[in-house]
A and B are shown apart, each in its own frame.
Chain A
């Protein structure tokens, strides 16, 4: 079965420290992978996506993600966290050739001042 997993319900990090939000996937074929951020009471905002090519993908607000095929991972990273980065983050995968976007259960990031 196709799936996307976010193993951590919550991640706490101090402001200014690097952050990592983990995502692993089980998607057949060539996976298309996405990261979204959700602030309270709002829709999901697109951050970045991996389709093909360079394994390091750069996105909005200084975020980047590293695609690792051997570990089937697509972890979201930022070199220096801001308090304003505190939000709910979703990883998603798209089964190649279909409409079906598969979302993880979300990871709540809390950046402490």
Chain B
């Protein structure tokens, strides 16, 4: 099946700990994105990548880091600098950044600070 796979579905982080959320896609899409979803606030863009070995900060990049070493993979690290990381994280991809392309989403990962 083609799609976007996020893992793990649930992750718990202790104070001061870095954690990494995995995102893999087999759609052969060039562009990949990470969004954070909080209740009542919609989706906010953390990072995006248009091509391998290149990525750009979104609106709320502080406390997060990413890498794009392979076309199909775009992992997100939530660092200890992110003071309020409890949220639902969504990975997405689109064919490229041409206008009008649909963005498709993975099933999401819950991160909770304990």
- Residues of chain A having any CB pair with chain B under 8 Å: 9, 32, 34, 36, 41-46, 49, 51, 90, 92, 94, 96-101, 103-106
Q: Is B105 an interface residue (CB 8 A)?
A: yes
User: Which chain A positions have C-beta within 8 A of B103?
Assistant: 34, 46, 92, 101
- Residues of chain B having any CB pair with chain A under 8 Å: 4, 6, 31, 33, 35, 40-43, 45, 48, 50, 56, 90, 92, 97, 99-108, 110
Q: How far, in Å, is A51 (CB) from chain B's closest CB?
A: 4
Contact of A49 among B42, B56, B102 (CB under 8 A): B102
If over half of B's interface residues share one DSSP class (helix, strand or loop), that class is named, otherwise mixed; here it is strand
3 interchain residue pairs of minimum CB distance: A43-B105, A105-B42, A103-B43
Most chain B CB within 10 A, of A32, A49, A99, A105, is at A99
Contact of B43 among A42, A45, A51, A90 (CB under 8 A): A90
B50 touching A99, Cβ below 8 Å: yes
User: Which chain A positions have C-beta within 8 A of B4?
Assistant: 43
B105 touching A44, Cβ below 8 Å: yes
* Extra inter-chain contacts (14) besides given A43-B108, A51-B100, CB under 8 Å: A9-B40, A32-B100, A36-B105, A41-B108, A43-B6, A44-B43, A44-B90, A44-B105, A90-B43, A94-B101, A99-B33, A99-B50, A103-B35, A105-B42
Closest to B110 in A: A41
Docked pose: A96 CA to B99 CA in angstroms: 6
User: Which chain B positions have C-beta within 8 A of A100?
Assistant: 45
Docked pose: A37 CA to B90 CA in angstroms: 14
Docked pose: A97 CA to B97 CA in angstroms: 8
Contact of B31 among A36, A42, A99, A105 (CB under 8 A): A99
Query: Mind listing 14 A-B residue pairs with CB under 8 Å?
Result: A32-B100, A36-B105, A41-B110, A42-B107, A43-B107, A44-B43, A49-B100, A94-B100, A98-B97, A99-B48, A103-B35, A103-B42, A105-B41, A106-B40
B42 touching A32, Cβ below 8 Å: no
